[in-house]
Amino acid sequence: MLEISDLRKRFAGGPDAPEGKVALDGISFTVRPGEMFGFVGANGAGKTTTMRIVMGVLQADSGEVSWQGRPLGYDDRRRFGYMPEERGLYQKMKVTEQIEYFGRLQGLSAQAAKKSATDLIERLGLVERRNDAVQALSLGNQQRVQLAVALVHDPAVLVLDEPFSGLDPIAVDTLATALQERCRGGVPVIFSSHQLELVERLCDSVGIVSAGRMVATGTVADLRGVESNTLRIVVRDPAPGWSDGLPGTVTVRGDRHILQTADVDDQEVLRRAMKAGHVEYFGVEQPTLTEIFKEAVA
């Protein structure tokens, strides 16, 4: 289990902003084995800073990252897989060599690195490109190599900063599948993204960060529970005044009346609507993650 507790980070200011910039103002969350954690937040909210601190690339001013109950140390961290926000590969190095090299840096033997690189190249569809220099690859293929670099040592934890950005829908699916596989194997996965539908679809739990604070964490269902669910009824040609006394709003579109309400006896409302006219639609609408997100950061 990966626990991030109360991270704080202030960046030193330049001459124009001598007071500096608080990037993290107490970030806490937990990721369990086999859990996929979606990290969302506006630009500049502090996602990248948090991930860099987790990866030891930045030092927090205070707070702690612990892994399996102990403070996360250098040796444990080598078993993590990381994809930084700004991608980085040696442009002139060949695909296979590059993946093998990072595998070795992360503690694999030469043989293990070779085997793992070969496997990944096959799984990620890079076989034809394996002897090409990275600079000769398309952006999508470079992303795959970057992912391979993060996965080569069969990491115990995956930390991916906006791994889906810039990918076409097919590449998104390939990546999503690769992540889900790892996750099912018991690896905690953290990734940040602005594609909220994707986060909603893939993630077991979500953290919403705003201005360096975690404003909401939990499963998508939990977050929905916090928000009140809306009841939505569409009635055609209802008798006038049918919704008098009910909370919520009625929108009239042609001969359709759309009632959006909450905190009511839904069965009672349905009976009234059926008596008043022809019910075309009746349902509880769950807010999308986008709505939850907007609400949370507002």
Chain centroid offset of residue 116 CA:
26
Q: What's the Cα-to-Cα distance from 291 to each of 58, 153, 212, 227, 271, rounded to whole Å?
A: 32, 38, 20, 10, 29
Which of residues 47 and 182 has its CB atom nearest to ligand ADP in the complex? 47
Pick one of 24, 27, 36, 48: the residue that binds Mg ion (CB under 5 A). Answer: 48
Min dist. Cβ of residue 10 to ligand ADP (A): 9
- Between CA 230 and CA 137 the distance in angstroms is 48
84 interacts with another protein by CB under 8 A:
yes
Q: Please choose, from the candidates 158, 148, 198, 160, the residue with its C-alpha nearest in 3D space to the C-alpha of residue 47.
A: 160
Does 142 sit near another protein (CB under 8 A)?
no
Per CB under 8 A, the list member of 1, 32, 73, 92 interacting with another protein is 92
CB of 57 to ligand ADP, least distance (A): 11
- List 22, 42, 93, 172, residue binding another protein (CB under 8 A): 93
| 57 touching another protein, by CB under 8 A | yes
Rounded to 5°, the CA angle 8-12-14 comes to 150
101, 115, 211, 279: residue in contact with another protein (rule CB under 8 A):
101
Joined together, the tokens standing for residue 57 give 């690339």
Tell me the longest C-alpha to C-alpha distance in the chain. Answer: 79
Site for ligand ADP, rule CB under 6 A: 11, 21, 23, 41, 43-49
By the rule CB under 8 A, 12 interacts with another protein? yes
Give CA angle at 182 (180, 188), nearest 5°: 95
Task: Give the nearer residue to ligand ADP in terms of CB position, either 188 or 207.
Answer: 207
Measured between alpha carbons, how far is 114 from 103 in angstroms, rounded to an integer?
Answer: 8
Task: Report in angstroms how near the CB of residue 87 gets to Mg ion at its nearest.
Answer: 13
The one of Mg ion, another protein, ligand ADP, none whose footprint includes residue 57, by CB under 5 to 8 A per kind, is another protein
